[in-house]
Structure 1
């Protein structure tokens, strides 16, 4: 439950259906249709239209509006324009009032819970639409405007990380396409074509049973639309043993999307590979697939599945697929007859093997990026949940008997870099660097009566942990989306190298001494000398002092506790 009052959207925003007739739209006006908004908020191929080009009336909008796609609200087509123009009447221009941030509203409406709510309240079986009245009735937690802006900024920064990961995946796709064209492009010009029907042993539709808490792992449309297996949000489906045997996936099976409201998704395919699903919690030999997918099982000795998948993902292969798509009630479809009629080139065996070797190296990298993106998506969902419950409001930092220590994030980052650069290398470099910050703060309290940068130390199982610095190192490792530090400056100054042999913080530059005074550096240097030659167990024992023992597990350690027991002189 949110800590802020809930208000109906109608109280803090207006849904402005300011219509304009097609004949009134001037030459050069920017036009946004639903096809120009990508799920997640980006614009795609927005263009200027000529006078008389559009056939029906539209809605006007400005850079102050939020554009909300009411048709098929499950697609979450919600965007923040930076320009004025006109839009389809299936898009609602929402104008936030003085008490509501547009960016905050955008993030709130894109939460999965709100998208699901919109979908549930939409009407129309084939073309579900959310009415303006239903949208206006949605309740929004309303913190102060400054807090709304802070939350939106945090979520925007987190979304940037996800976008960067998606961009890396897109670059790998481009590399794979370049490899395909390098090996096959000229060789395909005069090559005989064979229908896909002649290359497969069978086409088969998936199960229509609904997902449940038990059953077999079932791949669905979101798991294959990227062109390779995306194992985010796997569902289980209960089926009989006979149906399981019919639908069980084996290495090399191709899975095609057969129906979707987005034409670009129809015909997308991915190759099933047990090695790619081995890291999930499911048995790799027990995967099946859902009814909106079609499985193609290829004959041995013909085209390799990976070659066919890449051929059909772009160029003439993709065009052939699209030409066989049919539309009904706003849904695009392809059936087994259409797939079977696809003309497939006779790829040379040597060229296929060469491509397979090179593409597997790219696919291995892509699997790593997709797993990282899935982790970021999970973290982002958690961050959204906390944000709108009011759990991202900055906590009160550790207090001294006289006052409250306020975190100086810029100084904290320099202190972490200072220690990371000077702590001797070793298996537990990361652990000892964080503990050095704790010892340095105790030293600084003793000598100067204050903390180095207002850190909060938490009583975690392996000893006191400087919470802001610890969160920053978790950002470096992909375990958190944001920290209290400037995360762009963090990544420019530090890298975390973690594997089975070591966990090390690598300083990419030295600390900025203009932010770390002589007294602060002296305390940090003392702490480094104090624990540099200790083993893991020795550092742990030294940090389990009276301050730590008096503090409840995982709670912040009060500053007055830290002054009660100081480390021995170095």
Structure 2
């Protein structure tokens, strides 16, 4: 329960249905339809319309309104325009009053709890709509306006991190698809004239629907794969699977095996048919009833190739044609899936493809797992924020963002260049440069109450490692495809010289002192002086501090552990207990 008073939205905002006739809409007016708002709040392909182009009346809105999609409210089409225009009458323009922040209202309405409430209050079987009256009746916790703005800023920053991670995943998806089409051609056009077979002709087992168990059977037993555990062909959350109590016969019948393929058969239309290749499993895992499983004949086709083909637009269109629509969801059946048309190149070509995308798939899995953690943390932040539990730490950050670490990648690159340029040459230049960032962050935390650029330090075997900076150096060495830094700027600013005699970061320019402030430079200089003359073992021993020892191997070191090592006067000055 929130510690702040609850008020109806109608008490602090107006739902303004300021109608304008189609004949009054002038050329050059920006128009927003539901199709122009993406779930999550971004706009897509908003454009100016011509006079007479729109056939029906619309609602006016300004950059002060919040746009709320009332049709199918489970889609959470809630957006904050920075422009004025007209919108579909299936969108409600909400104008916050003097006591309500638009940004705060937006985040509040986008919570899963409020989206579910809106969906429950909507009327209409096939086209559910939330009435303006129902929306106006929703209650909202009302803290002081300054607190609303603080909460919105925190959630905006957390959302940026999720958006950045999604962008990386999208780039990897595009890379994988580009490799696929470069080798095999666009699937529907099939320019290389590969044989085309029904999926049923490529399967040696299946198609089998999964297992349904009542909620009372969950809570222990065997892991069960659910549709939220895989995306774009990759299973991302095996260690977080729910467990269900099963008989030995059920485990045998519904048990998954490495190289099985699962495909979702019931979902909203945009996610219907998503599929994944099952990796090696350390224990028995079964699969849920809203998906089906099949196994391909590897004498004809490789599972990794079939999984990649299933992600194509050609398959998406086949799914769209076969889908059976129902309220809020769609479905495909075993006959539909077995009839999918698949291009089948020679196995030798498929093997080349499998080798080419192995590293891409590994990176996708890593980023998907990280995104899932961010999603969970974001939901936790939302829950705590609107209950009045999102307290600031003494460093001006919400405690919930300790685990997120708001990375300033621009400053991070400049810090890495600054250290690389000034660290004395030697066999362990790369190792010392990274350690200097850790020592500098501890110094900066003590002197200024914050990290230099929001780095996450991981407890690796040879001591703490600044993860974003470390990943960047691996990009330079060809061990990774991408980092959290701007990789083009990274390669223009640094290179890595590694052979039997040295492992050195070579700065191709000096750091930008506009981006890297004086206080940050002073902390970095202190760290360089601190470890410059140490041996490898001395640096390692110096970094194996209390924070490192308290952290599980290969896990992020919590900022709280670093704070605990501060001198007493520093903790008191920053009001850290």
TM-score in terms of structure 1 length: 0.70
Q: Determine the structure 2 residue equivalent to 1:194.
A: 197
Distance 2:308 2:381 in 1: 36
Distance 1:376 1:473 in 2: 14
Q: Determine the structure 1 residue equivalent to 2:267.
A: 260
Change (3 A) 1:113 1:309: same
Q: Determine the structure 2 residue equivalent to 1:309.
A: 307
Q: Determine the structure 2 residue equivalent to 1:299.
A: 297
Residues 450-489 of structure 1: pairs in structure 2 closer than 5 A: 455-456=448-449, 468=451, 472-474=455-457, 477=467
Q: Determine the structure 2 residue equivalent to 1:38.
A: 38
Distance 1:206 1:133 in 2: 42
Change (3 A) 1:434 1:367: closer
Aligned partners of 2:436 and 2:531 also within 8 Å: no
Q: CA deviation at 1:78?
A: 1.6
Distance 2:415 2:311 in 1: 49
Distance 2:418 2:367 in 1: 31
SS of 1:303 mapped into structure 2: coil
SS of 1:265 mapped into structure 2: coil
Q: Determine the structure 2 residue equivalent to 1:464.
A: none
Change (3 A) 1:511 1:558: farther
Aligned partners of 1:251 and 1:273 also within 8 Å: yes
Aligned partners of 2:4 and 2:143 also within 8 Å: yes
Q: CA deviation at 1:213?
A: 2.5
Q: Determine the structure 1 residue equivalent to 2:211.
A: 207
Q: CA deviation at 1:506?
A: 12
User: 2:250 is matched with which residue: 243, 249, 258?
Assistant: 243
The alignment yields a C-alpha RMSD, in angstroms, of 4.8
In the alignment, structure 2 segments of 5+ residues that lack a partner are 397-407, 459-465, 470-483, 497-503, 548-562
Q: CA deviation at 1:363?
A: 0.9
Aligned partners of 2:196 and 2:341 also within 8 Å: yes
TM-score in terms of structure 2 length: 0.69
Distance 1:22 1:226 in 2: 42
Residues 264-343 of structure 1: pairs in structure 2 closer than 5 A: 264-274=270-280, 284-329=282-327, 331-343=329-341
Residues 279-428 of structure 1: pairs in structure 2 closer than 5 A: 284-329=282-327, 331-388=329-386, 389=388, 391-393=390-392, 395=394
SS of 2:257 mapped into structure 1: coil
Aligned partners of 2:236 and 2:368 also within 8 Å: yes
Paired positions, count: 497
Aligned partners of 1:415 and 1:511 also within 8 Å: no
Q: CA deviation at 1:352?
A: 1.4
CA deviation profile, 1:33-83 (whole Å, cap 9, x unmatched)? 333322211223334555666565543322222122234433322211223
Q: Determine the structure 1 residue equivalent to 2:229.
A: 223
CA deviation profile, 1:246-290 (whole Å, cap 9, x unmatched)? 3222222222232333x332223222223xxxxxxxx64432222
In the alignment, structure 1 segments of 5+ residues that lack a partner are 275-282, 398-408, 442-451, 457-466, 480-486, 498-503, 544-552, 564-570
